[in-house]
Amino acid sequence: MRMRRMSLAVLAAALGGALCASAPPALPMLGPPVELKLPGRPAAVASLKTDDEGRLYLTDIDGGRVFVYSPEGRFIRTIGAPGVGPGRMRRPIDLSLCGDTLAVREDHGPIHFFSATTGRWLRTLRLPPSNYSTQWFLTPKRIVFPGESFPVIPVPGRPVELWLLYSTNWEGREPRINDSRAYAPGQFDVSREAQWAGTSYATPWGRGRWAVTHALPRKIFLLDEEGRTLAVSKADPADESRLPNTTFDTIEATGKAIAASQYVCGLVPAGRLLGVVWQHRLERMPLEVEWMNEQLQTVGRQPLSLPFPLATFDCLSIAATDRFGRVYLIVKHIDYSRLAYTTSLYVLHLTLPGKGHEQG
């Protein structure tokens, strides 16, 4: 039940996309997406990040390694290898970059640290089994987990404490809990907020700050490099009954509920503005960016679309942005009849008013 709910939450988090159709002159513009044809690209991309030079790092979840490409899409190297042991990984699900440190986490497993420059394995951090969160990122001082974790493994029929936002140092010690929820026996299993607790996105935004989506769709946390909360946006809708229900008996029913709901599917930093990418496909404006200022107040919206239709179970997420104004998308086309999916990568270009092509 636990794994089924988490997999559905990860699937649901990614349904949406971004192509700016029109915008007031004062707001940033997102150009049309262009598919990336990377040589030797991994078959199953789970995560994508960029470094300060614009290089791309993609996890190959089936191949147990990370692919590195130049900003122009030229293959550079692989990092890690499949298997068990130093520098080897089974199903790397996500990664994060901080300076020359590349951290890669296995699916509900340890975090492996590598040199991003040389690919050399540095060490492995093994986390407590109660740390389910697959959503995390590095700051110069902390590992921040904005997803779903627990002080102890939940036991059915007993009270549950859920950590929605906490961090540790790079050694996995000195935990700091920013937000937690307590559930009475049985309450956790039916809570939609708990179902969506593993759904989050994070992005650097300005010097020494990170923006994080968190649990309720419109709730944005602004953190410093110590993982401390600097600001929190208004939580709207605050009523968790507005959240999609991911515990239906059939995949079809779950997919329809998700497609009919609002939620965030990515973040786009643009100078002093933060773009919160929404999906609500069954409304007149199916996809849009909500631009927020540094006080996390809405200053404008832009309708979004894609040059191709999304099926009910197709997943699309804002995977990464870089300082050159490039915004990367991961699109997964899922075929549940064969339990298989294919992955496509797209890049959009972000333009700030009066800034040319630079993101700022």
Q: Using one digit for the tens of pLDDT, what is the confidence trace for 238-261?
A: 456 666 777 767 767 776 776 667
From the CA atom positions of the chain, what is the Rg in Å?
19
Task: For tokens 């909360």, name the residue.
Answer: 229
pTM of the model: 0.84
Q: How does the average pLDDT of the chain come out, rounded?
A: 81
Rounded CA gap, 191 and 180, in Å? 14
Residue 102: its pLDDT value, please?
A: 97
Under the banding of pLDDT at 50, 70 and 90, the label for residue 280 is: low
Query: Does residue 359 lie within any of the structural domains?
Result: no
CA angle 15, 21, 24 (to 5 degrees): 120
Indicate if the alpha-carbon torsion angle 267, 92, 243, 231 is positive or negative: negative
Tell me: pLDDT of 12 over 90.
no
The closest alpha carbon to 150, from 199, 192, 183, 185, belongs to 183
Of all helices (H) and strands (E), which one includes residue 9? Answer: helix 2-13
Taking the CA atoms of residue 29, residue 138, residue 64 and residue 52 in that order, the dihedral angle to the nearest 10 degrees is 50
Comparing 340 with 21, which gets the higher pLDDT? 340
Confidence of residue 120 (pLDDT cuts 50, 70, 90): very high
Is the pLDDT at 297 greater than 70, yes or no? yes
Of the candidates 335, 333, 353, 352, the residue with the CA atom closest to the CA atom of residue 343: 333
In the three-class reduction of DSSP (H, G, I as helix; E, B as strand; rest coil), residue 262 is classed as: coil
Model pLDDT, residue 355:
57
Q: How many domains does one find in the chain?
A: 1
Instruction: Give dist(CA 194, CA 71) in Å, integer.
Output: 38
Contact of 321 with 328, CB cutoff 8 Å:
yes
Range of 77-91, 182-196, 262-276 with top mean pLDDT: 77-91
Q: Is the pLDDT of residue 125 over 50?
A: yes
Q: Is 252 among the domain residues?
A: yes
More confident residue, 43 or 275: 275
- pLDDT of res. 149: 85
Residue 174 is predicted with a pLDDT of: 92
Average pLDDT over residues 116-122: 95
* Residue 49 pLDDT: 94
d(CA 111, CA 134): 11
How far is residue 275's CA from residue 268's CA, in Å, rounded to a whole number?
5
What value does the mean pLDDT take over residues 199-205?
88
What CA–CA distance (Å, rounded) separates 153 from 163?
A: 12
Confirm whether 356 is domain-assigned.
Answer: no
Q: Which of 276, 259, 171, 164 is nearest to 220 (CA)?
A: 276
Q: What is the pLDDT of residue 8?
A: 32
Give the mean pLDDT of 335-340.
70
Confidence category of residue 101, pLDDT binned at 50, 70, 90: very high
Q: Which residues of 41-63 are buried (b: 16+ CB within 10 A; e: fewer)?
A: bbebbbbbbbbeeebbbbbbbeb
Concatenated DSSP letters of 158-197: S-EEEEEEEEEETTS-S-EEEEEEEE-TTHHHH-HHHHTT
CB-side exposure of 212: number of CA atoms within 13 Å? 34
The pLDDT of residue 5:
40
User: In this predicted structure, which of 5-19, 145-159, 197-211, 284-298 has the lowest mean pLDDT?
Assistant: 5-19
Residue 96 lies in a domain: yes
Residue 243 sits in a domain of what CATH number?
Answer: 2.120.10.30
Residue 91 resides in a domain: yes
Assigned domain for 360 exists = no
Q: What pLDDT is recorded for position 13?
A: 35
The predicted pLDDT at position 357 comes to 42
What's the domain range around 26?
2-351
Strand ranges, E, within 225-306: 229-232, 263-270, 273-279, 287-292, 298-304
Q: What is the mean predicted confidence (pLDDT) over 143-167?
A: 87
Instruction: Decide which of 16 and 44 is more confident.
Output: 44
CA distance 169 to 179: 17
**What CA–CA distance (Å, rounded) separates 82 from 246?**
32
Is 7 within the bounds of a domain? Answer: yes
Domain membership of residue 110 (yes or no) is yes
Label residue 180 by pLDDT band (50, 70, 90). Answer: confident
**Cα–Cα distance for residue pair 250/8, rounded to 1 Å:** 11
Judge contact between 9 and 198, C-beta under 8 A.
yes
